[in-house]
Amino acid sequence: MPASAMPRAAEAATCRKRSLLECSETPYQNCAPEACAASRMHAIGDLRPMGEISQIAKPAMAKHTVEPAERKLTKIDRNGFDAVSFDVYGTILNWEPEIAEFLSKWTRAAGAEIPNAELLDAYDRLRQPLQDERPALRYPEVLRLTLRQMASEFGLAVSDEAMKAFSEIAATHHAFPDSVDALNSLRNMGLKLAALSNIDNESFSKVTSANGLEFDVIVTAERVGAYKPDHAHFWAALADLRAIGIPMNRVLHVAQSRRADIVVANEIGLTSVWVNRPGHLFGRTGRGAETAKPNFEADSLNAVVEMLR
């Protein structure tokens, strides 16, 4: 890191003590995909062949206590629902490892060693105000500006090439190992599937196609001009489901993000399942997330399927 940047980085480090750094002590699962890896490595200044890339350090997790679901049950009455709606990133798609990998390589190439948990915290914290802007920014622009703000906060250089590469990362995440089978199982039960995602249409189309994911109803941030926890996502999805004969009280919402999804489900009276995936950080704090009360809790999508059987 340039000498002139060191005071800024040190000063910034003293004020990043919120949200994700206080979340989970479960070991982090680093399983970043290979998709577009070479171009992103080049963009952040790491030109070594893939085989020579050293493994990224796993972030240290601090303790964070989340109150258990108020009405946590082991079984969900399948006969009570005709559709399942989903938060996609973090619930179906495993996005945190790839984001951590990109940010870690970028900061190391810039001469800084910053723990992954701190990087993810800064990313999640700085991204939120950008998603509140109206008219809403497209998600690639949110990502680009988030990286630029992170560079300013850490006192690091960031190239236009790196920001462009980061703006495309949402289209390349991989599904969790249980996601495709779980969605297929729910569909085979006769349930309609809806996706509510804080994403642009193009990235959503690319990532779902690459992972073999299909939904009957799709609501993106670009479609409704807003990002969750704005209620617009939910009302749009519920209207689409109502159009095919499924009322709100027959919809089960499944989500990893307490902040973006479970809070809203509580506010509008939608039955919800919190997917508390071990070791994953985003969406656990802020805007009422700590006191949100899902109707059910599971640690995977496979568990949700078993609860509905």
Is position 216 annotated as part of the catalytic site?
no
**Domain co-membership, 8 together with 139:** yes
Q: What is the DSSP string of 163-195?
A: HHHHHTGGGSPEEPTTHHHHHHHHHHTT-EEEE
Domain extent, residue 31, equals 3-53+96-171
Q: Given 46, 87, 240, 261, which residue is catalytic? A: 87
Q: Does residue 101 form part of some domain?
A: yes
Please report the pLDDT score of residue 74 as a whole number: 77
d(Cα 240, Cα 13) in Å, to the nearest integer?
45
Considering only residues 13 and 241, tell me which one the structure prediction assigns the higher pLDDT: 241
pLDDT in tens, 16-60: 333 333 333 333 333 333 334 444 444 444 433 333 333 333 333
66 assigned to some structural domain: no
pLDDT digits (tens, 9 = 90+) for 127-172: 999 999 999 999 999 999 999 999 999 999 999 999 999 999 999 9
Q: By the 8 A CB rule, do 92 and 179 touch? A: yes
Please check whether residues 141 and 17 belong to one and the same domain: yes
Which tokens in the block code for residue 224? 């409704």
Please indicate, yes or no, whether residues 83 and 103 belong to a single structural domain of this protein: no
Residues 43, 11: Cα–Cα separation, whole Å: 27
- The CATH number of residue 187's host domain is 3.40.50.1000
188 domain residue, yes or no: yes
Do 291 and 201 have their domain in common? Answer: yes
Torsion region of 279: left, alpha or beta (phi above 0 gives left; psi -120 to 50 gives alpha): left
In this structure, are residues 26 and 61 in contact, taking their beta carbons and an 8 Å threshold?
A: yes
